[in-house]
Amino acid sequence: MSSAHEAAVDALMRQPFPDIAYGRRDAFGDVDHHVARLSVTQDFWDDRGEEVVGPVRDAIEQERDRLAEAFSKRWGPAEEVNFWGDGEHRNPADLEDGEAVDFFRSQTSGMLAWSCPEHNQWVALAVIQADPELPFALFVAVGAGSAWSATGSSGLDRG
């Protein structure tokens, strides 16, 4: 599965950024980013017990980790970004990291990010579960510029 995901990310990196926003929740973008869902699990409406959720969560996290390993071979080690590093949720309006990062921040506590200076882009991965009964999803973001945060002043914990 990782090679199919790598191909999808490579295609996003080759795709020009649009002049106007496009898309929906599973794939969207704007003038400086693309975000796409690479994988999605079952939902948990019928059973949210850890014996059901745990193995599914573990499987999609392993999927992310395999893809992260492939990216790290290409671009070096990932930057581990912990949005809630100090345990304090920040007001997203106070942070200016762009729509793609804002999407991840609103859905999960962290992401893995790589700088791809040869493309003047960055790539990030995150496993998201919007609510306990909803599926887990593996998302990728491709953004313009060599780093996911142009200012570096967001106050996030950069592991």
The pLDDT tens digits of the residues spanning 69-114 come to 999 999 999 999 998 775 555 544 445 567 888 889 889 999 999 9
Strand partners, 158: 81
Distances (CA, A) of 10 to 31, 52, 81: 18, 33, 22
Residue-level pLDDT at 6: 94
Q: How confident is the model at residue 154 (pLDDT cuts 50, 70, 90)?
A: very low
Residue 82 forms part of a structural domain: yes
- Phi and psi angles of residue 120, each rounded to the nearest 5 degrees, phi first: 50, 45
Residue-level pLDDT at 127: 97
Residue-level pLDDT at 96: 58
Range of the domain at 112: 2-150
- What CA dihedral angle connects 30, 18, 139 and 24, to 10 degrees? 70
Residue 157 forms part of a structural domain: no
Residue 155 forms part of a structural domain: no
Residue 156 forms part of a structural domain: no
Instruction: List pLDDT tens digits, range 28-76.
Output: 899 999 999 999 999 999 999 999 999 999 999 999 999 999 999 999 9
Rounded CA separation 84/140 (Å):
20
What is the reported pTM? 0.85
| Residue of 97 and 132 predicted with greater confidence | 132
- Phi and psi angles of residue 56, each rounded to the nearest 5 degrees, phi first: -70, -45
Dihedral of alpha carbons 95, 112, 79, 159, sign: positive
Average pLDDT value for residue range 22-26: 84
Residue 22 forms part of a structural domain: yes
Q: How confident is the model at residue 12 (pLDDT cuts 50, 70, 90)?
A: very high
- What is the chain's alpha carbon radius of gyration, rounded to the nearest angstrom? 15
Residue 49 forms part of a structural domain: yes
Residue 74 forms part of a structural domain: yes
Rounded CA separation 26/128 (Å):
12
| Number of independent structural domains in the chain | 1
Average pLDDT value for residue range 110-138: 94
Average pLDDT value for residue range 127-153: 84
